[in-house]
Amino acid sequence: MQQVFERGGTLEISVAQPSTPNAPSLDAHPTIDPHESAGSSDLVWRLKIVSLEEESVLVEAPVALGQTFRIDDGMALVGAITIGQNRWKFRTRKISDERPAGSRGACMRLELPDHVERCLRRFVRFEAAELQLPSVSMWPLLDPRTIVAAEVANEEAFRAFVESKPLPNVIAPMPVVGPKFVATLMNVGGGGVGLRVDPQDSAVLGRHRIFWLEIPLGRDHPVPIVVTGKVVHTHLDSSQRTYIGVSFDFTFRLAHQQVVVEQIHRSMKQAQIQPDQIQKES
């Protein structure tokens, strides 16, 4: 942790999901990596370390598209530290919100973990693992002017869902795009996302830089995020998987940005609802 802080680095944090009977836990299975669990719901946030103390660490609060997303005090979190090709995982808990002098925005204080575990280069996948990262559908966007109808349809479906109305029973229109491939959503932060593309699908990244993305948010969110993204940087890991930084682009329809913010906000709130709260609400 000290090395990451001294290098101006970041932590990757996600809300820990409640344990379920017979589900493998992060502590019980040292081969489980937060980034290697199969599934399609959890958002991992890449947060800059602001300061490091004896019993706590201060990090920037989750932010996307200019909006800060709050994590409740006391919330259990799963985190990862990445240095080069190496990764360590840990558990922590949110202590409080803070805004220290000189900081760029809101921050949150986390408990310093008692220990961190080295993640192996090849990880065993568990369907019931704690973190389940979304599989993002991607298409090369051939004509950005054709995204408007798709965004409008997505917004109408999201509004119907929020208002508990039946979702439109029609196939959503698609922009003019190339062949589909799938990436894994590794983290969210700032104005976009970090994705991982497997070797068999990475060739398209040498021919295109603008893509149409569909990001699922899990069973409780039937309307996915759809958005235009520009690839702004790439790098390979030791397994020849390509990690790409994608910046969201709302050039052709700025109004869609607020809908994406609302979808992320709802997903974050839902992730923090505990089982006893769900029972009370039902």
- 26 and 154 inside one domain: no
Which residue, 61, 87, 118, sits at the end of a domain?
118
The range of the structural domain enclosing residue 158 comes to 135-277
Q: When comparing pLDDT for 29 and 193, which is higher?
A: 193
Quick check: is 125 in a domain? no
pLDDT for 198 equals 95
pLDDT for 119 equals 63
Which residue, 76, 93, 118, sits at the end of a domain?
118
On the question of pLDDT at 187 being above 80, the answer is yes
Quick check: is 81 in a domain? yes
pLDDT for 85 equals 65
pLDDT for 117 equals 73
Q: What is the pTM of this model?
A: 0.82
CATH number at residue 70: 2.30.110
pLDDT for 184 equals 93
Choose the most confident range, by mean pLDDT, from 19-23, 100-104, 175-179: 175-179
On the question of pLDDT at 128 being above 50, the answer is no
On the question of pLDDT at 77 being above 80, the answer is yes
For residue 212, give every residue at least 6 positions away whose Cβ sits within 8 Å of its Cβ, in sequence order, or none: 138, 139, 140, 141, 147, 150, 174, 175, 177, 226, 227, 228, 229
pLDDT for 120 equals 53
Percent of the chain clearing pLDDT 70 (strictly above): 83
Which residue, 118, 152, 182, sits at the end of a domain?
118
Number of independent structural domains in the chain: 2
On the question of pLDDT at 182 being above 80, the answer is yes
Average pLDDT across the chain, whole number:
83
Which residues are 15's β-sheet partners? 77
For residue 24, give every residue at least 6 positions away whose Cβ sits within 8 Å of its Cβ, in sequence order, or none: 32, 126, 128, 129
